[in-house]
Structure 1
Amino acid sequence: MIYKSRINNFQKVMVFIVSILIILACIMNFLTSGIASIVIGIILIYILLHEYYVIQTNYLVIKKGLESTQINILNIDLLNIVRVKNITYIEIVRKNKKIVVKPVDAERFIQHLLTINPNIHVQNMKKLTKQVMQPVVEETVQ
């Protein structure tokens, strides 16, 4: 399953600055600096905005720009939830290595990881807007 990443304010500002620089370069001299600025600008915007997460069987693949990281979900020890303004960041801790993700649907993302590895400890669960872990109650028919 694919989970989209949130775009934070820093990314928005950087895209705006790159766009302004592209426009200025095109106005100054389109043939020399304009074309090069458009190509470099498109690459920078792609790197800034191209971020998503894929959960495949036991692996979490994190795509950030041109970089791709693969994590075995069974090796994840801890998920630390941090909220900054309206963005939920999830710090994934495994064997003294940390990586931070910011999925749009953080609750479903965490629940998906927990269904694969129920031994993951989740810190600061209350920082999510909804409760992630919903108790499963099995009714027995007698």
Structure 2
Amino acid sequence: MLRRLLLLVAAVVLLAGCGTSPLPDDFPADPDGTLDRIRADGVVRAGASPRPGWVEVGDGDPTGREPRLVEGFAADLDAEVEWTVAGEEELVRLLEDGEIDLAVGGFTEANAWVSEVGLTRPYAGTHVMMVPMGENALQSRLERWLDESGGGQ
């Protein structure tokens, strides 16, 4: 009986806290502060790997479906995009080293790099963007933007 009473009291305390204290603005957190840096500097450092139908490269900035999404996300953060064009392996290294903030290239959720980088929830079927591992505020904000903007359509 005492055990049930203690469990009931614990549940009431936990539920009461949920209703009165909203999550702080910095939740979830980015250990390396990527989203805060983007907001402060006004620059999204994006990587692009060529993939027909998703990312086209040539003279100038990358074009195509995913670069348009990155540009839209940056605009939502009042930021510009600085592009780096490279192969997948190089983009993963740049993400790991904190030199870029996200990468696109027609990547799918069956991505070979899943243990080295963070992947957004799938959009447009099975496609994902890569972000630095553990930068949860950036990833969460990007996923919310993709959902709200219809990026997955």
- Greater RCO, CA 8 A, separation 6+: 2
Taking structure 2 as the reference length, what is the TM-score of the superposition? 0.24
Higher strand proportion (structure 1 or 2): 1
Give the structure with higher Rg (CA).
1
Taking structure 1 as the reference length, what is the TM-score of the superposition? 0.25
